[in-house]
């Protein structure tokens, strides 16, 4: 299992807070309204426990986006179904949303949030990654395909109160990737 010190967790949380702030700002500019976000929660999980986290997202549409490079992992975004229509209306989608439009909306929002978040995270740590295109994802129909023995999960909630929009972003880093991310964090902590 991945172990990180309390100092490393605090530093990682602060770096992710800045990155998620950039992602919230990118989404807010797109829809021209304020986006609130939670403090990033960081936890080491087994692949089975990670699947349980996904199973607890009730009434959400999902997208999955992998990234490779100095660090690798997955970004999984769950968007509450209730908030999709209000968001779609602001983004000039035709209502009611059909399945194709729902997938397009979820993938577009996922790509905006994931790209801003991952870019902010890797640029602060001077790491290189490449984010693949998102794909619509059904965690309840997926077979367990996380090949790591443990995953470091960084979870943040994005909310737009007046439209009941709620999106949760989970960034999963493999054990080798978290070791790579901790190298610059440890260097910062030693300064």
Whole-number pLDDT of residue 59 = 84
In a domain? residue 113: yes
Residue 33's CB is within 10 A of a number of other CB atoms, namely 15
**How far, in whole angstroms, is CA 30 from its chain's centroid?**
18
In a domain? residue 46: yes
Residues of the chain with pLDDT under 50: none
Whole-number pLDDT of residue 143 = 53
In a domain? residue 55: yes
Whole-number pLDDT of residue 175 = 74
In a domain? residue 148: yes
In a domain? residue 63: yes
Cα Rg of the chain (Å, integer): 16
- Residue 82's domain is classified under what CATH number? 3.40.1550.10
Domain, as residue range, for 89: 6-190
pLDDT tens track for 122-149: 999 999 999 999 999 887 765 555 566 6
In a domain? residue 13: yes
The DSSP secondary structure of 117-161, one letter per residue, reads HHHHHHHHHT--EEEPPPEEE-TTT-------S-EEEEEEEEEEG
pLDDT tens track for 52-80: 887 777 788 999 999 999 998 888 888 88
Whole-number pLDDT of residue 130 = 93
Domain count for the chain:
1
Cis ω for the linkage preceding 96 (within 30 of 0): yes
Whole-number pLDDT of residue 104 = 93
In a domain? residue 145: yes
In a domain? residue 1: no
């Amino acid at each position: 299992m991945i172990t990180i010190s309390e100092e490393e967790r605090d530093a990682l949380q602060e770096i992710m807070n800045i990155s998620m702030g950039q992602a919230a700002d990118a989404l807010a500019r797109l829809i021209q309204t304020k986006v609130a976000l939670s403090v990033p929660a960081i936890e080491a999980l087994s692949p089975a426990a990670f699947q349980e986290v996904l199973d607890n997202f009730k009434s959400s549409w999902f997208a999955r986006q992998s990234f490779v490079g100095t660090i690798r992992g997955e970004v999984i975004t769950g968007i509450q179904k209730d908030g999709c229509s209000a968001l779609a209306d602001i983004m000039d989608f035709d209502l009611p949303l059909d399945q194709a439009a729902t997938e397009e909306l979820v993938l577009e929002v996922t790509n905006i949030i994931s790209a801003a978040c991952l870019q902010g995270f890797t640029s602060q740590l001077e790491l290189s990654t490449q984010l693949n295109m998102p794909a619509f994802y059904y965690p309840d129909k997926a077979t367990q395909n996380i090949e790591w023995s443990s995953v470091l999960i960084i979870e943040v909630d994005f909310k737009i109160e007046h439209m009941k929009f709620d999106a949760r972003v989970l960034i999963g880093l493999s054990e080798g990737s978290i070791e790579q991310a901790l190298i610059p964090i440890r260097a910062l902590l030693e300064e």
